[in-house]
Amino acid sequence: MAAMLRGGRTISEVAHSNGLLWEGGGPWLRTRLTTPVLNLRTETTPNQVTVHCSGRLVSETCEQLKHTARAIIPTTKLLALDLTEVNYVDSSALGAIVGMHLSAKRAGCQLKLINLAPRVKELLSITRLAEVLESHANEEMFGITPD
């Protein structure tokens, strides 16, 4: 049974109503409230637009990245997402990346993921998304060389 706070609400309900992500479990675990953060910085060159991402790419932050990508895709032939400083990716983020890839493809733009952390590369390999997305690219997209 979830612990109740004043007003009869659970910690999880209070966290979600305040835009926070609840991480934790039973009373034997130390729990904490965190706000997922994703910072985006855009760099434009004549050949491409690069979005430098840092933080967590999770369901709570995906909309921010999708909104940025939607605005950029019609303006360039190559959109690079630099994930150097992304420390966590969840399934919502994978879905967002696939959606951005499809939107870019329809607009005649290539989506390229660059500077992936080893854990992110592994996640893309395990889910076989690396193969799917690379099969639509003209060049190596993920820094993963096909076998």
How confident is the chain (147 residues) per 10-residue block, as mean pLDDT? 60 53 48 72 94 93 94 95 91 93 94 90 88 60 43
Residue 69's alpha-carbon distances to 10, 72, 78, 108, in angstroms, are 36, 5, 11, 14
Q: Do residues 10 and 60 both lie within one domain? A: no
Domain that holds residue 3: 1-35
Residues 106, 74 contacting (CB under 8 angstroms): no
What pLDDT, on the 0 to 100 scale, is given for residue 36? Answer: 75
> Quick one: pLDDT at residue 132?
76
Domain CATH for 88:
3.30.750.24
Closest C-alpha among 64, 117, 63, 62 to residue 91: 62
Ranges of H-type helices in 4-90: 11-17, 59-72
Q: Is there a single domain that holds both residue 19 and residue 76? A: no
Is there a single domain that holds both residue 70 and residue 105? Answer: yes
Question: Do 5 and 51 belong together in one domain?
Answer: no
Q: Is residue 140 part of a domain?
A: no
**Residues 17 and 74 occupy one common structural domain:** no
The answer to whether 2 and 12 are in contact (CB under 8 A) is yes
